[in-house]
Amino acid sequence: MNKTKIIATIGPATADKEIIKELILNGMDVARLNLSHADYKFCTDIITKINELNEELGTHVAIMMDTVGPCVRIGRFTGGSAYFKKGDKIRIYMEEVLGDCTKFSVNYPGLINDVKYNTIIKLDDGRIELEVIDKGEDYILCEIKVEGFIEDGKGLNAPGTCLKMPFLSKKDKEDIIFASKMGIDFLALSFISHRDDILEVNDLLIDLGNDHTNIIAKIENEAAIEDIDDIIKVSDGVMVARGDLGVEIPMERVPGIQKAIISKCHNMGKISIVATEMLASMESANRPTRAEVSDVANAVLDGTDAVMLSDETTIGKHPTEALNIMERIIASAEVDYNYLEILDKAMRTEKQDITGCIAYSVAECASRLKCKAIVVPTVSGYTARKMSRFRPTCPIIAVSPNINTVKSLALHYGVYPLLIDELNSFDKIINKSKEVALSLLDVEKGDKIIITGGYPFKEVKHTNFMKIEEL
């Protein structure tokens, strides 16, 4: 049972129900849908398939949906693509045109006012670079500095330029309403700049009567880095979206920022996700590069809660193999994870309350007694999330009668959420915990588990017991 979670993005290569089933059976914890590329019809179809498979397999795979956010995207090209040659001139139109090697359009008419002469414009995660040399009435004239192929709908970045786009567009609001209606578990907000962006979305979810969707802030620009502490405080988790981030800032800064964000999230008890190009070569190759293996392993050793597959599973030729290899890399890296060092660090930064002290004691006892599992009966998920922060050596099995709680725990490090019937007595809690451990784990007579939580259910708001049981 790996502790680091895997998010797999669903696209054309993985839309078939049997392939989604393979992903689930190979370790996908969260299925991701990106509204920058997927329409409502596609999303509805995939969500229906995942819900059906969860029912068939007895699994609880959660669903994440990404908003488009204040992102500039290019329009369509004749034939779906074009080649931009170094030294050629090209026009960027503010109104929609069908693009070719001499022109293309963007979805943000205000771009012409925001960019200055000599601004460097980057396309498709920085693969192509243009320099602004002039402006017309409705177009920006650029010279191509770095050439390459470009396809429909790719992103446009202008590092160092303050784009005056509202954070929530009309489409974003419609998308969030759609996500809420579909019961999405995690909403990943693209191009966050500061905490107020998250609060705006949180207010919208409250207006929609949605109290279960978790907000993940995608860190993709300098402004978000500068406000990172406040962003983490008001979100449920953070995604280090290295694609756009590595375009907006010098790419050599990204590894250090990744490590810092993982550490900050851990200190605050929030989810951390490392994303983009983790096994990028597997879009075409049937095995990753050694550098990619090291990238995934280092994210695990840094303590991230989850790693993510993007193009590898949306358009890649080997989606299930990519997920299987990521699972193997995680398993190997977790053997070298320094659990006791992390436990001590977590206690030094933990708020000194009852739940924190009990969670620390549980994690320490689990290590010293070589317990097979920590079983956490929970209604809200609070104790399980707190336990996850202490990174115990054994699995945390969170059992809950609330399906929203079960899904919300899908991204927390080391937590394996299970849906159970209502438990009304302490004896039933103990018996059910032992039953779950026996059914899930490779155990022998005399092996130990620790049971912890808050009792009576629904009455106490903090953890108030731990009990060590021999199986």
Q: Write out the chain's pLDDT in tens, 471 residues.
A: 899 999 999 999 999 999 999 999 999 999 999 998 899 999 999 999 999 999 999 999 999 999 999 989 999 999 999 999 999 999 999 999 999 999 999 999 999 999 999 999 999 989 999 999 999 999 999 999 999 999 998 999 999 888 889 999 999 999 999 999 999 999 999 999 999 999 999 999 999 999 999 999 999 999 999 999 999 999 999 999 998 999 999 999 999 999 999 999 999 999 999 999 999 999 999 999 999 999 999 999 999 999 999 999 999 999 999 999 999 999 999 999 888 788 877 777 777 788 888 988 999 999 999 999 999 998 899 999 999 999 999 999 999 999 999 999 999 999 999 998 877 777 887 887 788 888 777 888 889 999 998 888 777 778 888 999 888
Based on the residue annotation, tell me whether 195 is a catalytic residue of this protein.
no
Q: What is the pLDDT of residue 342?
A: 82
State residue 327's pLDDT score: 97
Set 21, 32, 385, 386: catalytic member = 32
pLDDT score for 143? 98
Catalytic residue from among 44, 59, 73, 161: 73
Is 73 tagged catalytic? yes
Rounded to 5 degrees, φ, ψ at 36 are -70, -20
CB 10 within 8 A of CB 20: yes
Give the single-character DSSP code of 213. Answer: P
Tell me if residue 49 falls in helix, strand or coil.
helix
Q: What angle do CA 39, 44, 49 make, to 5 degrees?
A: 130
pTM of the model: 0.91
CB 26 within 8 A of CB 324: yes
Judge contact between 144 and 73, C-beta under 8 A. no
Residue bearing tokens 């106490």 = 460
The tokens 């000194």 sit on which residue? 352
Selecting among 3, 5, 49, 218, the annotated active-site residue is 218
Per-residue pLDDT, 203? 97
Which member of 67, 276, 314, 355 is catalytic? 276
Q: Does the annotation count 328 as an active-site position?
A: no
**pLDDT given for residue 317 in this prediction:** 97
Alpha-carbon distance of 431 to 449, in angstroms, equals 12
Give the tokens for residue 392: 């115990």
Helices 290-302 and 319-335 cross at an angle (nearest 10°) of 50
Sequence-ordered alpha helix ranges (H) in 276-425: 290-302, 311-314, 319-335, 339-349, 354-368, 382-389, 403-408
- Cα angle at 249 between 319 and 296, to 5 degrees? 30
Q: Is 78 annotated as catalytic?
A: no
Q: Which structural domains are found in the chain, ordered by start?
A: 5-69+166-334 (3.20.20.60), 72-157 (2.40.33.10), 339-470 (3.40.1380.20)
Distance CA 20, CA 33 (A): 13
